[in-house]
Structure 1
């Protein structure tokens, strides 16, 4: 009996692609946080998201 392999992640991509996406996201985050104005930009974005009811 063939069973369809179900991905564990909610995006329907392979686990390998999900791991690469996570690694790329972390790399971007660390590079972003090295900016001198990163904290201000992050707080501004969070405030915008709160206004829209997303956070």
Structure 2
């Protein structure tokens, strides 16, 4: 049963390789930008707090 579903999945994904690739690239790009923005804001928020704690 597991083999049947996995072979069906691989066959369907083979048919949509270019679509899957472009979707994955788009999702990766958005996730990368979002992660960068979150990390940027987190750094701006946390670095002064960490600096104050280290100084104190």
Using structure 1 for the length normalisation, give the TM-score.
0.45
- What TM-score, normalized to structure 2? 0.44
* Structure index of larger Rg: 2
Tell me which protein shows more helix as a share of its residues.
2
